[in-house]
Structure 1
Amino acid sequence: MVTEALIAWLRDSDPALCWQVERDLGGQPPDVWEATRAKIATTGFGARLLALQDPDGQWAGGAYFPADFDFENPDAADDGGQPWTATTWTLASLREWGLDSAVLRERRTAELLAENSRWEYDNLPYWGGEVDCCINGVTLANGVWLGADISGIVDWFLEHRLPDGGWNCEWVEGSTRSSFHSTLNSLKGLLAYDVATGGTDATRAARRAGEEYLLQRGLFRRLSTGEPVAPWVGRFAYPYRWFYNVLNAGEYFREAALLDGTPPDPRMADAIELIRAARQPDGTWLQARRHPGRVWFEVDVPAGEPSKWLTLSGTRVLAWWDSHAP
């Protein structure tokens, strides 16, 4: 299904996407995809976000919410969803797109955020994290990328893993059962830490436990009944944000396997078939929706149209899985 026409269509895109196509699907040598990746800082999506950074190191004047967010009337937010323009999600986009962190290190972004940014929750210091697993997972990944001191967040994840192996953002409300969303976002943060630093016995053990939580459930089933946990497990939308689906999880397990040198776990088979079933006859995946909420600008197509981002993800997850098929 990875035809020359599909590769050409995917490469005709922003540098943030194009370099990944060249590296992961197109078989291009490093000098080619590295040159494309370097353009992120000066061209397209990456350059546009960099130009929007505030002098104090933040974006939109806030840590997780923009400075003008109406906390007294949150339902009045754009499209009824949370805004995605503040610092945490903007940094996550730049990191996930592949921006060289040296660009932001030269701007002293980590230091400026330590000095100027506080979480909207209890005014906590930015690089110390807060109480939400998904927010802390993104912040851990962003922080290790920028060279910030995120040791406290690492310890937080080790301390807040639940008895069933995963995490739940509702722990602060008393929840003792892990969630798919929270566990995947926590795993992503820990994986970024392990990739950047080599990890520790404790972080690797925490990752194994969280992975086991998802694998025992086939990435999308209830452990009690074997039924799909919810329709959103097969609803693919880019940007992924904090939302769970089996394609998002498949990307995590592919990256973790590349780091750990392990083959795909066979318990993922049914989830992989959900991903495969969503592939269109021309080899593309369709955008299911746009998550509501304010954005700086759109980076993918409207719902119902072929998505280059989802096609990149789906194609490389299936290529990884199929390359290990017996």
Structure 2
Amino acid sequence: MNPDVLGWLLESDPALRWQVERDLADAPAKVWRATRDRVPQEGFGAALLARQDPDGQWAGGAFFPAADHPARDPEAQKEHAGGGIGQPWIATTWSLTSLREWGVPASALRPGTGDLIAANSRWEYDDLPYWDGEVDVCINAMTLLNGVWLGRDMSGLGAWFPAHQMADGGWNCDWVEGSVRGSFHSTLNAIRGLLGYEQLLGPRPELRESRRRGEEYLLERHLTRRLTTGQTVADWVDHYASPFRSYYSVLRALDHFRAAALFGDPAPDPRMAEAVELVRAARSDDGRWIRRMTYPGQIWFDVDDFVGQPSRWLTFHALRVLRWWDGASVV
């Protein structure tokens, strides 16, 4: 560990700092837990908590901000130079996910947030009840974990994942349009959701079997390649964007397998080696990783340095993955 890089990482917001202390600096539990306790009171965590609406939502909507909400910025949803419409990242699902991943305790939200959301938030797709989920795999994966975090019974949505798994072991958000093949993006989000569900609630054998089928879908493809041709699936496999959002990258996929191994799964699979080297090769001479891109759309505030600059979040995740891989016995 480069001490200059570690020192730079430790200068970060508490939402990141406590994770650096725990996973890279090997700080005692009382140290990183004390830092994590600061997240709701200062920095990113406090700023996002302050934006929660009285009805429990953020920006008045489930996945998209309400059209009449004062926080909504129509300009942020226009066509961008890189193509596509900017996705607004400020509504309830995205805000809950960020707070949970930053280590904010559910008790820091408005009292009864889970019930408030149940009463006031409906999915933009078919006006479905919020905690029942909708048809999108990636949305349901976030909702599953956010619901458990807020103390909801999410067993029904948990069972949704095995029921909607493709024959090839993957998932695809376009299943509702007739797709019968898995996708990298959807599959990664599904297995992350299923792993997180077990981490929060304990072993669920039926869900673990489904998750491992999904993991095998990615491993068969070496986390990077099409199974049919062996060609790299797309240039986004090594796009290093921060925040990750719900998109696939080899860094985000490797971070999942690292977390699964810590939960008791087998040692690293050699089929990940190519993905690991893609991450390693992206390291700058100074030991940092550059934020190459961001996903367009409205945000509450940025949590990382500018595009083209060294990224604390990406550097942290990359170093954590490499530390795990280099220190483990590959099976």
Q: Give TM-score scaled by structure 1 length.
A: 0.96
Residue 77 of structure 2 corresponds to which residue in structure 1?
A: 77
Deviations 1:159-200 (A, max 9, x none): 100000010000000000000000001111111111011132
- C-alpha displacement of 1:263: 1.1
Structure 1 counterpart SS, 2:63? coil
- 1:256-267 matches, within 5 Å, as 256-267=260-271
Q: What is the distance in 1 between the residues matched to 2:272 and 2:76?
A: 40
1:205 equivalent to 2:209? Answer yes
- C-alpha displacement of 1:278: 0.4
Distance 1:48 1:76, change over 3 A: closer
- C-alpha displacement of 1:227: 1.1
Judge conservation of contact 1:158–1:203 (CA < 8 Å) in 2.
Answer: yes
Match of 1:282 among 286, 293, 297: 286
1:167 is aligned with what amino acid?
A: W
- C-alpha displacement of 1:261: 4.3
1:39 is aligned with what amino acid?
A: R
Q: What is the distance in 1 between the residues matched to 2:75 and 2:12?
A: 35
Residue 50 of structure 2 corresponds to which residue in structure 1?
A: 51
Residue 235 of structure 1 corresponds to which residue in structure 2?
A: 239
Residue 319 of structure 1 corresponds to which residue in structure 2?
A: 323
- C-alpha displacement of 1:102: 2.5
Q: Aligned-residue CA RMSD in angstroms?
A: 1.5
Structure 1 range deviating more: 143-152 or 240-249:
143-152
Q: Which has the higher helix share?
A: 1
Judge conservation of contact 1:53–1:59 (CA < 8 Å) in 2.
Answer: yes
1:269 equivalent to 2:268? Answer no
1:13 is aligned with what amino acid?
A: S
- C-alpha displacement of 1:290: 1.3
Percent identity over the alignment is 57
Deviations 1:72-112 (A, max 9, x none): xx9971553110000000000011111122223x6211111
Judge conservation of contact 1:40–1:47 (CA < 8 Å) in 2.
Answer: yes
Structure 1 counterpart SS, 2:135? coil
Q: What is the distance in 1 between the residues matched to 2:322 and 2:87?
A: 32
Judge conservation of contact 1:95–1:145 (CA < 8 Å) in 2.
Answer: yes
**Residues paired across the two proteins, number:** 321
Q: What is the distance in 1 between the residues matched to 2:170 and 2:264?
A: 19
2:217 is aligned with what amino acid?
A: Y
Q: What is the distance in 2 between the residues matched to 1:111 and 1:170?
A: 30
Judge conservation of contact 2:63–2:92 (CA < 8 Å) in 1.
Answer: yes
1:100 equivalent to 2:105? Answer yes
Match of 1:301 among 277, 285, 305: 305
Q: What is the distance in 1 between the residues matched to 2:37 and 2:204?
A: 31
Structure 1: tracts of 5 or more residues without a match: none
